[in-house]
C-alpha cells in the first residue's frame, strides 16, 4: 500500500512538472503552460487546483492550453473589483450671460434657480480573485461643500441638487458654495457698459454716468452721483450725491428712495422719497410720503399718497410747483409714468425683434452666419426676454396701484419752513388756497374743505 501511494505521488509530481501555472500579481488571472501534448484538460484542472486556483476557470481555454504545447495561455479570470468613484460638484450651465455677468465676472442667481448637482461617492463593487477570495473595493471620497442658508439641498438617490434660496451672486469655492446677497462695484458706470442687471443688492462705489441702464432686484446704494440713467430697483435706492441731468433720468424704487439733490429728473418709490438738500424741476412720486424736512422743493411735480413734509416748498420768484396728495392723485401720476415707460420699452422690443428676424434669416439662408452673429442673436434673445419681463412687471405694478385705491388715507401737507404762493397744491382733489406765504403750517382735507393748522 505504501508503495502504491509513493507511486501515485511520484506520478503526480511528474505531471505537475510538465504543467507550469503562474498567477498575476493581483491574483485575478491564472496562466498555464503545458510542456507535453499527451496531457488532458483534467490534468490541467488538477494542476490549477493544486495551486489553489478554484474560481473563474475557463474550460475551453484549458483545452486550448493543452493543445497549444508550450504556449502560455490564460485559463482562469477572476471578477475584478471596481473602486468607488469620488464625489464631485457639477455646476449648472447658463446659456446666455447678461452684460453685468460678462463684464464683471459675476453669476446672477434667483430664488429657485438650480445651481448645480453634488454627485455622491459610490462604494464600488466587490471582486473575487482566482483563489476564490473576495477583494474589497476602495470607496469613493466624499466631496464636502459648506452651503449654509443661502442654498437649498434636495437629496435624491446618488445626487444632491442645489438650489438658490435667495437672490444674489453665486460663489463656488474649494470647500463652499454660497449665494452672496450684495455685490460691490468699484468705479464709475456709463452707457458703454450696456444694460446691467443684478440679482441681489448692489453698491456702486462711484458715479453712474450718461444714459446708463441699471436694474437691481433688491437694494441699491450709489456712493456718488447719477446723470441721465434709468435705474430700477425692487428694494430701496440711496444716492449719496446728486441726481442731475437733462431730464431723461429715472429712479424707480420698489421701496424707499433717497437722494441729496435732484434736478430735472424723475423719482418714483413704492415707499417714501427723501430729499436731503434740494429738488428743482423734478418729478417726485411716492406711494407713501415725500420727506424733505431740511430741504427745498422748487418747480416740477411732487405727488404722494400719505404725506409731503418739506422745509420750503416753491419760491417767491420761481415757476409753479405742483403738489398733489391722495391716492387718486398719486395713482394718476404713477400710472402716467408707467405707461410712458412701457411705451419706451415697447419701441425697444420692436427694434430687437427686427434685428432678431434679420439674424435668423441669415442663419436659415446660410448667409455668412458668423460666430459673432450667433453671439449677437443669443444676446438679443436674452435682452428681449428681460424687456418682456420688465413690461410684465410694470403691468403688475399698475394692478397693484389700482388695488391700493381701497386704502383709506388722511394725507397731509406739512410745511416746516415756508410755502410760497407759487405752489399749486391739491389734497384728495381739493385745491389748497395759497394766496400768500405761510410758515410752519399743516394742510389737510376734511369733507372737501382744506384745514390749515399751525405746527407745534
Distance (Å, rounded) from C-alpha 121 to C-alpha 141?
A: 6
Query: What pairs with residue 412 in β-bridges?
Result: 307, 444
Least confident of 227-241, 298-312, 350-364, 423-437: 350-364
Condensed to tens digits (0 to 9), the pLDDT of residues 384-421 reads 887 888 888 888 877 776 666 555 568 999 999 999 99
Query: How many residues are recorded in the chain?
Result: 456
* Res 2: pLDDT: 45
Q: Which residue would you say has higher pLDDT here, 410 or 3? A: 410
Q: What's the pTM value of the predicted model, to 2 decimals?
A: 0.72
The average pLDDT across 336-343 equals: 82
* Res 378: pLDDT: 81
Asked if residue 12 has pLDDT above 80, the reply is no
Domain range summary for the chain, segments of one domain joined by +: 15-77, 83-178, 181-271, 331-404
Distances (CA, A) of 277 to 289, 303, 345: 16, 18, 32
Asked if residue 144 has pLDDT above 80, the reply is yes
φ/ψ region of 420 (left if φ > 0, alpha if ψ in -120 to 50, else beta) reads: beta
* Res 406: pLDDT: 54
Distance (Å, rounded) from C-alpha 76 to C-alpha 32?
A: 9
Distance between the two ends of the chain, CA-based, in angstroms?
132
Condensed to tens digits (0 to 9), the pLDDT of residues 252-295 reads 999 999 999 999 999 999 999 999 999 999 999 998 999 999 99
Asked if residue 250 has pLDDT above 60, the reply is yes
Query: What pairs with residue 88 in β-bridges?
Result: 119
Q: What pLDDT band is residue 1 in, cutting at 50, 70 and 90?
A: very low
Buried b (16+ CB within 10 A) or exposed e, 123-140: ebeebbbbbeeebebeeb
Q: What pLDDT band is residue 3 in, cutting at 50, 70 and 90?
A: very low
The average pLDDT across 226-244 equals: 96
Buried b (16+ CB within 10 A) or exposed e, 339-367: eebeeebeeebeebeeebeebeebeeeee
Least confident of 19-28, 43-52, 75-84: 43-52
Distance (Å, rounded) from C-alpha 156 to C-alpha 401?
A: 43
Q: Which residue would you say has higher pLDDT here, 27 or 326? A: 27
Condensed to tens digits (0 to 9), the pLDDT of residues 177-228 reads 999 999 999 999 988 877 899 999 999 999 999 999 999 999 999 999 999 9
Cell of 356: 432678431
Distance (Å, rounded) from C-alpha 279 to C-alpha 259?
A: 9
Asked if residue 446 has pLDDT above 60, the reply is yes
Give the mean pLDDT of the chain. Answer: 88
Q: Which residue would you say has higher pLDDT here, 331 or 70? A: 70
Amino acid at each position: 500500500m505504501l508503495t502504491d501511494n509513493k507511486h501515485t505521488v511520484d506520478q503526480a509530481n511528474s505531471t505537475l512538472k510538465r504543467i507550469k501555472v503562474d498567477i498575476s500579481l493581483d491574483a485575478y488571472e491564472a496562466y498555464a503552460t503545458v510542456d507535453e501534448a499527451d496531457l488532458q484538460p483534467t490534468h490541467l484542472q488538477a494542476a490549477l487546483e493544486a495551486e489553489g486556483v478554484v474560481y473563474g476557470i475557463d474550460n475551453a481555454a484549458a483545452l486550448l492550453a493543452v493543445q497549444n504545447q508550450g504556449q502560455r495561455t490564460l485559463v482562469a479570470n477572476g471578477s475584478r473589483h471596481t473602486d468607488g468613484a469620488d464625489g464631485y460638484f457639477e455646476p449648472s450651465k447658463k446659456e446666455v450671460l447678461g452684460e453685468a455677468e460678462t463684464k464683471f465676472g459675476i453669476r446672477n442667481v434667483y430664488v429657485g434657480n438650480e445651481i448645480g448637482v453634488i454627485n455622491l461617492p459610490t462604494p464600488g463593487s466587490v471582486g473575487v480573485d482566482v483563489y476564490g477570495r473576495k477583494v474589497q473595493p476602495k470607496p469613493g471620497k466624499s466631496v464636502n461643500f459648506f452651503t449654509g442658508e443661502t442654498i437649498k439641498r434636495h437629496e435624491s438617490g446618488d445626487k444632491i441638487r442645489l438650489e438658490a434660496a435667495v437672490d444674489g451672486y453665486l460663489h463656488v469655492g474649494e470647500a463652499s458654495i454660497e449665494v452672496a446677497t450684495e455685490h460691490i462695484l468699484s468705479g464709475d458706470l456709463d452707457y458703454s457698459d450696456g444694460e446691467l442687471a443684478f440679482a441681489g443688492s448692489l453698491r456702486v462705489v462711484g458715479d453712474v454716468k450718461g444714459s446708463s441702464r441699471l436694474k437691481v432686484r433688491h437694494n441699491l446704494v450709489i456712493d456718488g452721483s447719477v446723470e441721465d440713467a434709468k435705474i430700477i430697483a425692487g428694494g430701496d435706492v440711496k444716492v449719496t450725491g446728486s441726481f442731475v441731468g437733462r431730464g431723461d433720468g429715472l429712479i424707480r424704487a420698489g421701496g424707499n428712495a433717497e437722494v441729496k439733490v435732484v434736478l430735472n429728473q424723475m423719482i418714483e418709490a413704492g415707499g417714501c422719497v427723501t430729499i436731503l438738500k434740494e429738488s428743482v424741476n423734478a418729478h417726485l412720486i411716492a406711494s407713501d410720503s415725500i420727506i424733505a424736512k431740511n430741504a427745498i422743493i422748487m418747480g416740477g411735480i411732487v405727488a404722494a399718497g400719505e404725506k409731503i413734509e418739506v422745509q420750503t416748498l416753491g419760491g417767491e420768484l420761481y415757476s409753479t410747483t405742483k403738489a398733489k396728495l391722495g391716492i387718486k392723485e398719486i395713482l394718476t401720476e404713477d400710472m402716467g409714468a408707467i405707461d410712458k415707460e412701457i411705451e419706451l420699452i415697447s419701441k425697444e422690443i420692436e427694434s430687437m425683434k427686427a434685428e432678431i428676424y434679420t439674424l435668423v434669416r441669415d442663419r436659415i439662408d446660410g448667409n455668412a452666419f458668423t460666430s459673432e452673429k450667433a453671439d449677437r442673436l443669443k444676446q438679443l434673445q436674452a435682452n428681449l426676454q428681460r424687456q418682456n419681463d420688465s413690461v410684465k412687471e410694470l403691468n403688475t405694478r399698475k394692478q397693484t396701484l389700482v388695488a391700493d385705491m381701497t386704502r383709506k388715507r388722511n394725507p397731509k401737507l406739512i410745511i416746516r419752513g415756508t410755502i410760497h404762493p407759487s405752489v399749486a397744491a391739491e389734497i384728495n382733489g381739493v385745491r389748497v388756497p395759497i394766496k400768500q406765504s405761510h410758515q410752519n403750517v399743516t394742510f389737510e382735507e376734511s369733507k372737501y374743505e382744506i384745514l390749515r393748522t399751525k405746527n407745534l
